[in-house]
Amino acid sequence: MASQQDLQELLRLLTLGKLPIKDAMQRVRALQEQNLRSIQQIAEAPLSAIESAIKDPKAAKSLSNACKARLKNPNRSSGSKRAGVELLQAAKRSKISADDTGYLDGPAPIPSAGFEASLALPVETDEETIAGTVLVTNRAPLVLAFAVELLRYTMPEQPPSSRLSLAQAVVSANSRSKAVAIGLKTGASADEEGWGHGQPRVRIMGREVTVLKRSGYEWKGEETVGSADIKEENAATSAASSATVTADPSPANEKNIIANDTLRTWSASSPVTLMKSTFIVRATKITESSQRQPSLQALYNAIPSLQTASHNAWAYRVKKPDMFGSHTIKEESFDDGESGCGEFMLKIMREINAIDTLVVMTRWYGGIMLGPDRWRIMRNCLKEALAERLRVTGEQASLGGEAVWGLDLEAMKNKSAAAAAGSATRSYEAGVVGMPIHRPEAARAYLLKSFAQRVEISSGAKEAEGEKPTTPKKKTAKALNEEKEENLGRLLGAIRILYDSWADHLSLVELDRRAWSWYISTRPEVEDGPAGWGAKGNLKLASILALVRKSA
């Protein structure tokens, strides 16, 4: 059976010329029916087998030759004349409008740092500026704004591109439900028909969204890995790990031997630094809760610099036999001043079913609050420390911190129907060749477009008094684009201030639940029923700020 990587490589090869992605997908399906699922299988197959799948002999021979050439030199495209053609085609594929549906193999891969930077959203956090802003918009993009900001807190490990994709999936699901409720659409949704069967799901603002894992896509944000300024710890670790058993009975040598034996039982993540704060997580095996304190003390003795850290939060989960010959799970955690860290580590350990394990998260605080970035860093460090123990099987409620796309199930149903016609299980096979996803570029463009109109405060006051607002002067295209950025920045800033005020006081589940109620209480007023579908109204950002948690 072909892997996802095999399918992607084959699709890329087919689309290097002028073959449309749709035709390329149909061709891949025909090849799969002949059990030709990868470039290597096609290169090694007789030409007759390829011709039986691709009815055009010339195209079949061309594909065979291309696959053979690729096997001989997998990196040929980087140094040949063909590279220019590939770059041109990649550029064409990456031009996705707000109305396009992106496929898994759509845009050519680019470095994650540059890709994520291109999707950055503006944020304005000046409350006085925000409070005086009134935007004219409809409801759907406001759902998108609330969702994309919420994901910074509930799924901080997801890169900006994934957050935009997931948030757009929420909007799509909500819009269809609303359309059915008011009679604009009928029939079962793609989700209800099983088009997302077998894919993992996540809950966002109370809605379940079907997702697609991004096959090892890595994003580290702005933090630096492995270059933390913790010289004392590194020195202690180096000294302990270089200690050898000798006949020297001196206390110093015995201490080094003990430290070395201790450190051998712990796995450690790379140190990660962001804004002068440094994190590192260590994990070890324990089988009884009584082993927790001795294990921690041995670690602190082996690495004395840990005792100078700002926080040493810990968590453990162990099996506890019961009288029925089975067992329960005993778990405990301690924040050590790092608010919510212990429970957060337990949550991740539950997700990946880590048992008989003790973890310690060490942080040297740099004096700057990191917001939700700290959760992403802690998750990444914990995941690395537990890497050898990660054995997620079946449909567990865990993504393990892996980046995902929000699947566009309606597009999958509509655009794959022709290719899957006559198949009794088409809803389960639609994603074999390529799964349509909610493209983050389209979601970002939608946000900017949807909040383009702003009511000046003077006009808003007149409208509140029943007067007709004055017509604004015509603006240049540059000024209009700048205003779009300003408007979106103020909206996202208002939502971020709201979430920030509650994030340390609510569980992630409760924060997710309240996000929907906050959207409901601040959305623009429009007519009920079909008349209000897509209608615009005034969105007063002061109403969002009014929901901010009041300090005690």
Query: pLDDT tens, 499-545?
Result: 988 887 887 788 999 999 999 999 999 888 888 788 899 999 999 99
Q: What pLDDT is recorded for position 468?
A: 55
Structure tokens at 501: 């005020």
Q: Please write down the HEC assignment for all residues of 264-292.
A: HCCEECCCEEECCEEEEEEEEECCCHHHH
In which band, very low, low, confident or very high, does the pLDDT at 261 lie, cut at 50, 70 and 90? low
Q: Which amino acid is at 528?
A: D
205's CB contacts (< 8 A; 6+ apart) are 143, 146, 147, 150, 170, 512, 515, 516, 519
Structure tokens at 324: 């029925």
| 370-402 pLDDT tens trace | 888 888 888 888 888 886 444 332 233 344 567
Q: Which residue has the tokens 């991740």?
A: 348
In which band, very low, low, confident or very high, does the pLDDT at 478 lie, cut at 50, 70 and 90? confident
Q: What pLDDT is recorded for position 371?
A: 83
Q: Which amino acid is at 436?
A: P
d(CA 129, CA 132): 6
Q: Which amino acid is at 223?
A: E
| 62-87 pLDDT tens trace | 888 888 888 877 654 433 334 334 33
Structure tokens at 213: 């894992």
Closest C-alpha among 93, 188, 126 to residue 441: 93
Angle between helix axes 251-264 and 231-242 (nearest 10 degrees) is 100
d(CA 437, CA 410): 10
| 182-192 pLDDT tens trace | 888 888 888 88
Mean pLDDT for the stretch of residues 38-66: 87
- Here the contacts of 29-37 (C-beta below 8 Å, separation 24 or greater) are 29/419, 29/432, 29/433, 30/54, 32/2, 32/432, 32/433, 37/1, 37/2, 37/6, 37/7, 37/10
Element (H, E) at 39: helix 39-44
Checking DSSP bridges between strand 327-334 and strand 134-137, what pairing results, if any?
A: unpaired
pLDDT over threshold 90, residue 171: yes
Mean pLDDT for the stretch of residues 9-26: 72
Mean pLDDT of the chain: 77
Q: How far is CA 349 from each of CA 68, 124, 341, 353, rounded to the nearest angstrom? A: 46, 36, 12, 6
Q: What pLDDT is recorded for position 447?
A: 95
More confident residue, 491 or 430: 491
| 112-168 pLDDT tens trace | 777 888 888 999 989 999 999 999 999 999 999 999 999 988 888 788 999 999 999
d(CA 23, CA 419): 10
pTM of whole model > 0.85? no
Backbone angles phi, psi at 309, to 5 degrees: -70, 160
d(CA 271, CA 462): 57
d(CA 488, CA 133): 11
d(CA 163, CA 513): 17
| 23-39 pLDDT tens trace | 777 888 888 888 888 88
- Locate all alpha helices (DSSP H) within 182-289, ordered by sequence: 231-242, 251-264
d(CA 268, CA 270): 7
Buried b vs exposed e over 240-249: b needs ≥16 C-beta within 10 Å?
beebeeeeee
Structure tokens at 200: 């993992």
pLDDT over threshold 70, residue 200: yes
d(CA 356, CA 319): 6
Q: What pLDDT is recorded for position 465?
A: 52
Mean pLDDT for the stretch of residues 357-366: 93
Q: What pLDDT is recorded for position 96?
A: 41
Longest Cα–Cα distance of the chain, Å, equals 95
In which band, very low, low, confident or very high, does the pLDDT at 217 lie, cut at 50, 70 and 90? confident
Backbone angles phi, psi at 274, to 5 degrees: -145, 125
Q: How far is CA 214 from each of CA 104, 109, 165, rounded to the nearest angstrom? A: 9, 12, 12
